[in-house]
Structure 1
């Protein structure tokens, strides 16, 4: 993914700040869009799907930057900028998930560094989502009985114990277990436990059968 695939939003009611940031961000190779209010920004992004981050002023004429952060609910990384920040405000913004908090006037190097870090976060988040999607796809290949076997195996049961729980013989469980390992594309119990936890199958509560 190149810089030209990434979009930086700037929300600041100071037009001169928007223009200066836009020039800098475009020069760095990113796409950029600027807005003078939170509402104008919200109207624009509802259908946005490309990787993006937001440079956001704390003091805005309609909705404040902190209120907008709450409304976005971590939809994208946020870099706050302000000429009126204080320690409680900074701490609150960072606890709510902001990637950075920069005082005005913002140095070019600091802003570009913050943007780079924001998109590193985007890349990591997308990688996690891709992995989870791949794991869920593999889980979807399992039969109901294979899901039950998998849940019991990753909970620490031996093949003999799983057979007893499910009312069958150990040889059958070994065959189910081999198919689970193949479908989940893992080669060890440790790997199976890891992917099961990521898929939310780390316990047997939802897949245990009564007999």
Structure 2
């Protein structure tokens, strides 16, 4: 999914300057004059990151950050501010901000922060998509296959599982092969990782 850098700053000259630096570096940029303009788009879960001014009228940067966190929106935030406010930066970082830059900042610092934020967003999005795939695969399993999955992932042999379920060993072997195909596991180790990722027990 293409990534966009969203620049949210009520200072038009600063907004344009940041956008120019990013566009010169080949980034796709969208600009917003205030957080209220941006928040509706943000809630749709776009790919990218945000360069966000802390101090803005009405909905400020920290309040917007809280809204995005509460809505579980995966969108790293790079805060920029003209005020060297240490408590504010600590609050922002604790809430998951990707970085905090004090104006005036070096162009390279901005570019580095954006690169890191986009890499983080890409990795987080991929991880979430993989978890969706794993949950979908698990939902396709029958109750018997789920039981065999847990037992096999725990390292129990087919004959032990068969005895537990009152089945023949060959039936368990076939069922295990089928469930491994469904979840995309090529080995018992991968089956174990599948169960671990979904926190099955």
Instruction: Give TM-score, length-normalised by structure 1.
Output: 0.83
2:68 equivalent among 63, 66, 72: 72
Matches within 5 A, 1:22-37: 22-37=19-34
Q: How does 1:177-188 map to 2 (within 5 A)?
A: 177-188=176-187
Within-5 A mapping of 1:47-66: 47=44, 50-66=46-62
| 1:171 alignment partner in structure 2 | 170
Q: Retained in 1: the 8 A contact 2:36–2:59?
A: yes
| Residues 15 and 46 of structure 1: CA distance in aligned 2, closer, same or farther (over 3 Å) | same
In structure 1, which of residues 42, 53, 60 is the aligned counterpart of residue 39 of structure 2?
42
Taking a change above 3 Å as real, the CA distance of residues 50 and 69 of structure 1, as seen in their structure-2 partners, is: closer
Unmatched 5+ stretches in structure 2? none
- 1:117 positional shift: 0.7
Deviations 1:128-164 (A, max 9, x none): 1332233334334433321221122223433233223
Q: Is the 8 A contact 2:140 2:182 kept in 1?
A: yes
1:190 to partner: Cα distance:
1.2
Who is 2:14 aligned against? 17
CA distance in 2, matches of 1:80, 1:138: 39
Q: Distance in 1 between matches of 2:151 and 2:113?
A: 45
CA distance in 2, matches of 1:95, 1:122: 17
Name the structure 2 match of 1:125. 124
Asked if 1 retains the 8 angstrom alpha-carbon contact of 2:43 and 2:68, the reply is no
Indicate conservation of the 8 Å contact 2:159/2:169, yes or no: yes
Provide the C-alpha distance between the structure 1 equivalents of 2:43 and 2:177, rounded to a whole number of angstroms: 46
| Alpha-carbon separation, structure 2, partners of 1:93 and 1:165 | 53
Q: Could you tell me which residue of structure 2 aligns to residue 91 of structure 1?
A: 90
Segments of 5+ residues of structure 1 without an aligned counterpart are 204-211
Q: Is the 8 A contact 2:42 2:68 kept in 1?
A: no
Give the equivalent residue in structure 1 for 2:158. Answer: 159
What secondary structure does 1:81 align onto?
Answer: strand
Tell me the TM-score normalised to structure 2 length: 0.87
Structure 1 residue 179 displacement after superposition: 1.9
Q: Is the 8 A contact 2:8 2:51 kept in 1?
A: yes
